[in-house]
């Protein structure tokens, strides 16, 4: 393929091969997904009315049917198209032809994170009359927005927490980021979790949850019903989250997180 080596072939069909290339291997929440679609004519001429590219969210749901002993459950994949572009109108693709179409599509500001069974995909569809429409699909890897990771990285780099995992909630479109405490705080905390959304200006808003270490029978009983978890508002506008040179303002982030940790542990010591 030569100059097309970087493209991913998504479909081989008699009249065409479809390739998709994105400019980045991973995509941040709220970012612009850009790249190119390449069509290569194959065995015979292919003519159609349009070539469309869709940005599609997909996830799984468990659905039930029937009653009593006849009740059945099944897992289905649900999709929703968030953005579309018509790459071309009427077209003719002859054997050996190569047609390249640049594209830009936008992810939602607090988009679903990619997992093994949920996430995002790009789908190319050729509208060909009186035939099964050729389609090609590639899956995207969507990761937390830079604003969210700036908070995590400051906690890891300056406060010595260990980043464990991220989870996205459909109910409030917030991203939960769990961190394990450094050695000196393991006697006080099981973990902390940021539940955050970011805005297009680059700031974050949400809450910080602390899961306190059980130190007594009373604490243990509270932990059974999650009463050992305390929550605090956590909001940092872009002006505090980022330095003037564009880098994360770790001093401001650490100050905000440290103040919450200090208040929570002091309150617990006084109780």
Residue given tokens 């309150």 in the structure block: 267
Q: pLDDT digit string (tens) for 52-78?
A: 999 999 999 888 777 766 778 888 999
Strand-pairing partners, residue 243, are none
**Which tokens hold the place of 30?**
């709220």
pLDDT-derived band of residue 13, with 50, 70 and 90 as boundaries? low
β-pairing verdict for 189-198 and 204-212: antiparallel
**Cα 227 to Cα 29, 218, 231, 250, 254, distances in angstroms:** 32, 10, 11, 31, 26
pLDDT-derived band of residue 219, with 50, 70 and 90 as boundaries? very low
Q: pLDDT digit string (tens) for 192-210?
A: 999 999 988 899 999 999 9
Give which of 181, 176, 196 is closest to 265, Cα–Cα. Answer: 181
β-pairing verdict for 91-93 and 26-28: unpaired
* 219-244 average pLDDT score: 76
Q: Is the pLDDT of residue 226 over 70?
A: no
Q: What is the mean pLDDT of the chain?
A: 87
Position 221 scores a pLDDT of: 39
Q: Is the pLDDT of residue 131 over 90?
A: no
Q: pLDDT digit string (tens) for 95-112?
A: 999 999 999 999 999 999
Top-confidence residue, 63 or 20: 20
Q: pLDDT digit string (tens) for 25-51?
A: 999 999 999 999 999 988 888 888 999
């Amino acid at each position: 393929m030569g100059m097309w080596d970087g493209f991913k072939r998504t479909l081989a069909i008699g009249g065409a091969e479809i390739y998709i290339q994105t400019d980045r291997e991973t995509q941040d929440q709220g970012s612009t997904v850009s790249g190119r679609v390449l069509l290569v004519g194959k065995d015979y001429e292919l003519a159609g009315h349009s070539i469309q590219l869709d940005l599609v969210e997909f996830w799984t749901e468990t659905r039930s049917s029937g009653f009593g002993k006849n009740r059945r459950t099944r897992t289905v994949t649900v999709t929703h198209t968030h953005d579309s572009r018509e790459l071309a109108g009427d077209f003719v693709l002859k054997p050996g032809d190569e047609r390249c179409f640049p594209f830009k599509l936008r992810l939602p500001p607090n988009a679903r994170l990619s997992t093994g069974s949920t996430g995002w995909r790009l789908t190319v569809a050729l509208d060909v009359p009186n035939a099964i429409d050729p389609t090609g699909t590639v899956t995207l890897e969507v990761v937390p927005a830079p604003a969210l990771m700036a908070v995590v990285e400051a906690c890891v780099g300056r406060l010595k927490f260990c980043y464990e995992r991220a989870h996205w909630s459909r109910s409030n479109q917030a991203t939960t980021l769990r961190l394990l405490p450094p050695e000196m705080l393991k006697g006080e905390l099981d973990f902390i979790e940021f539940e955050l959304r970011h805005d297009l200006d680059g700031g974050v808003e949400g809450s910080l949850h602390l899961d306190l270490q059980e130190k007594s029978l009373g604490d243990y009983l509270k932990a059974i019903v999650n009463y050992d978890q305390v929550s605090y508002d956590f909001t940092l506008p872009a002006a505090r989250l980022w330095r003037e040179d564009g880098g994360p303002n770790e001093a401001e982030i650490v100050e905000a997180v440290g103040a919450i940790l200090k208040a929570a542990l002091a309150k617990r010591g006084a109780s």
